[in-house]
Amino acid sequence: MFELLQEYFAQRTNIDEASFEHICSYFKPLKAKKNEILQMKGERSKYYYFVNKGCIRLFTVNEDGEEATRYFAFEGAFGGSLPSLIRQSPAFEFVQAIEPSELMAISRDDFFHLVDTVPAVAKIYRLILEAAFITAQERIYGFQNLTALEKLRWLLNYQPRILSRLSGRMVASFLGVTPYTLSRLKAEL
């Protein structure tokens, strides 16, 4: 149950057994069906999720109904609407399971309580923020002034798993191109 989470902490901190079990007591297991929405846009985000199995994505929908995906969390990663969790403001994005998934949920308040009281969690949170920021920053540079083909090549270099594992629709909404264009480009790779 907690193996992946333990690995996650072990690789990033030197946490003792007791602290880790204390942390685990705050997480609740949760199964999500394919396409199940865990968090609506506009709602205040209540939970942060750790993925044991499957995949969740963060995306928004604009007024024309187009989806824009920002992030996929696979096994062994945290996922959730961090901006909403941080600011306790209405989320600007949806959280959705895009495969049948097994998740561990921790409430917003419990998470930040742990951040404030358990040094190992404070460190994890700092690492999460640093990595999230760096990823976002790479993506801004990676997409600015790039053609659709160049973005596809970028994805092939930086996050090939997204290409190989997920549907074209998902990839397209991540790259910011239409599925039509993506299909053509994959042909000429």
Partner DNA sequence: CGAGGCCTTGACCGCGGTCAATGCCCGTGG
Partner DNA sequence: CCACGGGCATTGACCGCGGTCAAGGCCTCG
- Residue 37 engages its own copies in binding (rule: CB under 8 A): no
Specify the amino acid at residue 73.
Answer: A
Site string for DNA, 44-73 (x = CB under 7 A): --------------------x---------
The interface partner of residue 24, options being DNA, its own copies, none and the CB cut-off 5 to 8 Å by kind, is none
Beta strands in 47-187 (DSSP E): 47-53, 56-61, 67-73, 78-79, 94-97, 101-107
- Residue 158 engages its own copies in binding (rule: CB under 8 A): no
Region from 36-44, 52-60, 134-142, 145-153 binding DNA, contact rule CB under 7 A: 145-153
- Residue 183 engages DNA in binding (rule: CB under 7 A): yes
Cα 131 to its chain centre, rounded Å, is: 12
Q: 62-86: b or e for each residue (b if 16 or more CB lie within 10 Å)?
A: eeeeebebbbbbbeebbbbbbebbe
Residue 53 contacts residue 101 (beta carbons within 8 Å): yes
The interface partner of residue 183, options being DNA, its own copies, none and the CB cut-off 5 to 8 Å by kind, is DNA
Q: Which is nearer to its own copies, 14 or 25 (CB)?
A: 14
Count the residues of the shown chain that bind DNA, applying the rule CB under 7 A: 19
Give dist(CA 27, CA 21) in Å, integer.
10
In order of 39, 43, 50, 77, 163, the CA distances from 135 in angstroms are 22, 25, 18, 14, 17
The interface partner of residue 82, options being its own copies, DNA, none and the CB cut-off 5 to 8 Å by kind, is its own copies
Of the candidate residues 2, 53, 83, 181, the single one contacting its own copies (CB under 8 A): 83
- Residue 129 engages its own copies in binding (rule: CB under 8 A): yes
Q: Residue 12: in which H helix or E strand, if any?
A: helix 3-12
- Residue 93 engages its own copies in binding (rule: CB under 8 A): yes
Q: Which is nearer to DNA, 20 or 74 (CB)?
A: 74
Binding site for its own copies (CB under 8 A): 60, 62, 66, 68, 70, 82-83, 86-87, 92-93, 125-126, 129-130, 132-134, 136-141, 143-145, 176
